[in-house]
């Protein structure tokens, strides 16, 4: 029987034995359906707590290798590399088109190079901050079914998305080692994910 009460509330329920006094039972959510039950009414599977109604479906998911509800599936190195490759193509096309337009108004070679570098940097910053802050993913990550989130699965803010752009530069400048950390980390975090406390998951 489910109870519509906050999961953090502590419920005091008297035990059946007169000499045992009172025992504590906590109300917790089923990891699958989200309904609230007493903790002794739920079945534990690793870190998940499942009610009797959801147990058959939960066990079936485990057998089929499907991630249970609420469980984040971290994106590996190669799919993240593919997403960055797609972003690179999109960004290069946009930068080339806008660069050609900029050349029409700039004659001096040195001024043209400086402006192109500054423009490229600002475009990359705006591209990453806007898409990750708004949608949780750049177009490349969207195409690969990935999303950037906080450790609890919540979306990241524009400020964090902006900071992650600069941290990503650091991952690149240390000979790309920051990216290779994805293959070694249990949560598939790159250096910039560690710095900004983010995770890249399969959406």
Domains in the chain: boundaries? 10-64, 77-202
Q: For position 66, what pLDDT does the model report?
A: 59
Q: For position 19, what pLDDT does the model report?
A: 42
Residues 90-99 pLDDT 10s: 988 987 887 7
Burial class (CB in 10 A: 0-12, 13-18, 19+), 15: exposed
Q: What is the SS3 assignment for 28?
A: strand
Partners of 202 in the beta sheet?
A: 146
Q: For position 70, what pLDDT does the model report?
A: 59
Measured distance CA(98)–CA(134) in Å, rounded: 23
Q: For position 21, what pLDDT does the model report?
A: 44
The low-confidence residues of the chain, meaning pLDDT below 70, are 1-24, 46-47, 62, 64-71, 102-107
CATH of 10-64, one of 3.30.40, 1.10.287, 3.40.1700, 1.10.260: 3.30.40
């Amino acid at each position: 029987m489910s109870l519509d009460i906050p999961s953090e509330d502590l419920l005091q329920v008297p035990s059946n034995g007169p000499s045992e006094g009172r025992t504590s039972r906590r109300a917790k959510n089923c990891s699958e359906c989200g309904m609230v039950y007493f903790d002794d009414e739920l079945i534990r599977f690793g870190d998940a707590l499942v009610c009797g109604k959801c147990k058959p479906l939960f066990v079936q998911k485990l057998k089929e290798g499907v991630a249970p509800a609420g469980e984040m599936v971290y994106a590996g190195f190669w799919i993240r590399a593919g997403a960055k490759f797609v972003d690179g193509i999109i960004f290069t096309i946009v930068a080339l088109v806008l660069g050609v337009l900029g050349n029409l108004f700039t004659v001096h070679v040195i001024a043209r190079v400086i402006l192109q570098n500054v423009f490229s940097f600002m475009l990359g910053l705006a591209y990453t901050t806007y898409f990750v802050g708004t949608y949780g993913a750049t177009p490349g990550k969207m195409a690969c079914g990935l999303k950037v989130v906080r450790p609890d699965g919540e979306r990241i803010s524009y400020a964090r998305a902006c900071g992650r752009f600069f941290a990503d530069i650091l991952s690149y400048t240390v000979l790309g080692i920051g990216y290779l950390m994805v293959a070694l980390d249990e949560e598939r975090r790159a250096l910039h994910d560690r710095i900004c406390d983010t995770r890249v998951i399969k959406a």
